[in-house]
Amino acid sequence: MIIKPRRESRKKRGLISSPVSRISPSGIRKFFDLLASIDGVISLGVGEPDFATPWPLCESAIRSLEKGYTMYTSNLGMPELRERLSQYLEDTYSPKYDPASELLVTVGVSEALDLTMRAILDVGDEVIMPDPHYVSYDACVILARGIPVMVPTSEENDFEVSAADIEARITNKTRAILLGYPANPTGAVMPRGKLEEIAEVARRHQVPLISDEIYARLIYGVEHTCLAALPGMKESTILLGGFSKSYAMTGWRIGYAAASKEIISAMTKIHQYSIMSAPTMGQVAAIEALKSGGDSVISMVEEYNRRRLVIVKGLNEIGLPCFEPRGAFYAFPSIKFTGMTSEEFAERLLVEERVAVVPGIAFGQCGEGYVRCCYATSLGEIEEALSRMKRFVDRHQVA
Amino acid sequence: MLTEILRILESDSRTTTKQIAAMTGISAAEVTKLVKQAQKDRVILKYKAVVNWDKVEDERVWALIDVKVTPQKDVGFDAIAERVYRFPQARSVYLASGEYDLAVLVVGKTEHEVANFVSQKLATIEGVQGTATHFILKRYKEDGEILEEVEEVKRQQVVL
């Protein structure tokens, strides 16, 4: 690739670029360091399934290695995977995407998100997103020299983001609205009606939507609405998804982007130079997931739901009021009555009772006053964590 | 809801009524009612543990016996199956397709005891044409549980 040399004078600055300097490795570094020094911790801090990848998926990947499938694949991803993915998306909740030009297989949604931002943002462009949100959202925008614009959400509104609040933040610099429902860290799911209102705002202002639907299959008693499936929204929505959460495949690193030919071809340019192709054996396992993994997803969702009911009820009973999460595998209880910040709460809970939760502040200013408790862990551990947390809460009741 | 309760109990029969209530979102009284009814209907037969007997000093010999039988008028295989399953040595009895008709899982203290049971009790039942005995050399998986020690996979403690 040929790029023109930059002509501007070299200003004196440090070795690291300003966007990278601007983002912290994690908002809660101190907490991570503390965690590493303590033994016997029950962790509700892990954002991934505790199940191993269903065996048939592993087995197909092992076989593929034995057969010599160890080379790069097409930049876009294996044709069979894209074909099956196209069919799967159409059969489940999304519109039909052309496997040859509208789907790109990525290294998890993480890469897909990064590619999206790099493909669409110029310096200073704005991306509107809810607060709290998954930690990569603002980081990817900043790394692509953009500006994240926060829309506050609150427990009172079920952590749903409103069309009016989004519209109020649209400027001539707005390049996209980024949503991620079912949500990490809150477990919130947006009802169809509210998504339609947002789609209407996006259409009116001609702002594309980016929808991270990695948790689409992990929903409880509600229906998932795919933003791209709303009338007329396919062309202006960049749909991101992946295999990690629903098929318990986090370590395989397989995600995808589904969007217009123009967007996918722009993303593919970056992908081909920075990644080449997603891991081949992961793609093989993903094909098997689409072929035979459906029942495993159903039984894992059933198990998550049992745990969800236990942890939400338990948190409320021990005095940590908890909004009812309808998706993903997180509970997001309020800790406001303790008078502690979320970071203080998490640190003291870790030191005093050896339970790890993630301070809500890690996910944005509106996450302050909450902690994220992941229930993708065994029921025994959840029950033990709840009883430890009860002791902690009882001790720290503010009179 | 009953199916959900049965799944929970099938994977851990020691789950308490209170826990099941929390896991399903229905009241404990409702759980008790459904479980009692299931017991009454013999949907739930028994609450048992899956034991790895190889780890305790308890000499047991297991064998799978294929049994070929002549089906009888009106009752088919059922009457002969009953004559087999009445014996306490027969732990599981299935009617199976293929070369043989009944598959019988037999347990005894010694190989001799199992062999005696097959030759003297099973083979002599009227209508039994022949048997094939397969002694079990090693048990790998029992009722969905893998018996050998599995290495615990360590997850990261915090992933955002």
Is pLDDT at A315 greater than 90 in this prediction? yes
Neighboring chain A residues of B155 at a CB cutoff of 8 Å: 43, 46, 48, 50
Q: How far is CA B34 from the centre of its chain?
A: 23
Closest chain A residue to the Cα of B23, Cα to Cα: A306
Test the B interface: residue of A44, A46, A186 with most B CBs within 10 Å? A46
Mean pLDDT of chain A: 94
User: Where in chain B are the domains?
Assistant: 2-40, 57-138
Neighboring chain A residues of B153 at a CB cutoff of 8 Å: 52
Chain B residues within 8 angstroms (CB to CB) of chain A: 4, 7-8, 19, 22-25, 153, 155-160
**Predicted confidence band of residue B74 (pLDDT cuts 50, 70, 90):** confident
Q: How far apart, in whole angstroms, are the C-alpha atoms of residue A395 and residue A252?
A: 42
Q: Which residues contact A254 (CB under 8 A, 6 or more apart)?
A: A105, A106, A107, A108, A242, A243, A244, A278, A279, A282, A283, A285, A286
CB-CB under 8 Å, A46 with B19: no
CB-CB under 8 Å, B19 with A379: yes
Length of chain A: 399
Sorted by where each starts, the structural domains of chain A and their CATH numbers stand as 18-52+296-395 (3.90.1150.10), 55-292 (3.40.640.10)
End-to-end C-alpha distance for chain B, whole angstroms: 34
Q: How far apart, in whole angstroms, are the C-alpha atoms of residue A153 and residue A367?
A: 9
Q: What pTM was computed for the model?
A: 0.90
CB-CB under 8 Å, A379 with B155: no
Neighboring chain B residues of A307 at a CB cutoff of 8 Å: 23
% of chain B with per-residue pLDDT over 90:
76
**Predicted confidence band of residue B56 (pLDDT cuts 50, 70, 90):** confident
More confident residue, A11 or A114: A114
Is pLDDT at B72 greater than 80 in this prediction? yes
Least CB-CB distance to A41: which of B22, B157, B159?
B157
pLDDT of residue A251: 95
* pLDDT digit string, tens, across residues A360-380: 999 999 999 999 999 999 999
Domain B57-138 -> CATH class: alpha beta
Is pLDDT at A11 greater than 80 in this prediction? no
Least CB-CB distance to B8: which of A47, A306, A314?
A306
Closest chain A residue to the Cα of B20, Cα to Cα: A306
Q: How far apart, in whole angstroms, are the C-alpha atoms of residue B38 and residue B41?
A: 5
pLDDT of residue B153: 78
* pLDDT digit string, tens, across residues A21-31: 888 776 677 78
Least CB-CB distance to A309: which of B25, B158, B160?
B25
CB-CB under 8 Å, A379 with B23: yes
Q: How far apart, in whole angstroms, are the C-alpha atoms of residue B33 and residue A226?
A: 40
% of chain A with per-residue pLDDT over 70:
96
ipTM of the complex: 0.78
* pLDDT digit string, tens, across residues A197-211: 999 999 999 999 999
Is pLDDT at B58 greater than 80 in this prediction? no
CB-CB under 8 Å, A46 with B22: no
Closest chain B residue to the Cα of A52, Cα to Cα: B153
End-to-end C-alpha distance for chain A, whole angstroms: 66
pLDDT of residue B152: 80
Average pLDDT over residues A133-151: 96
pLDDT of residue B137: 92
Neighboring chain A residues of B25 at a CB cutoff of 8 Å: 309
* pLDDT digit string, tens, across residues B79-100: 999 999 999 999 999 999 999 9
Q: How far apart, in whole angstroms, are the C-alpha atoms of residue A363 and residue A72?
A: 35
Q: Give the β-pairing of B61-69 and A371-374.
A: unpaired
pLDDT of residue B151: 81
Least CB-CB distance to A46: which of B4, B7, B155?
B155
Interface of A with B in 189-228 (CB under 8 A): none
Is pLDDT at A34 greater than 90 in this prediction? no
* Of the candidates A78, A66, A95, A348, the residue with the CA atom closest to the CA atom of residue A225: A95
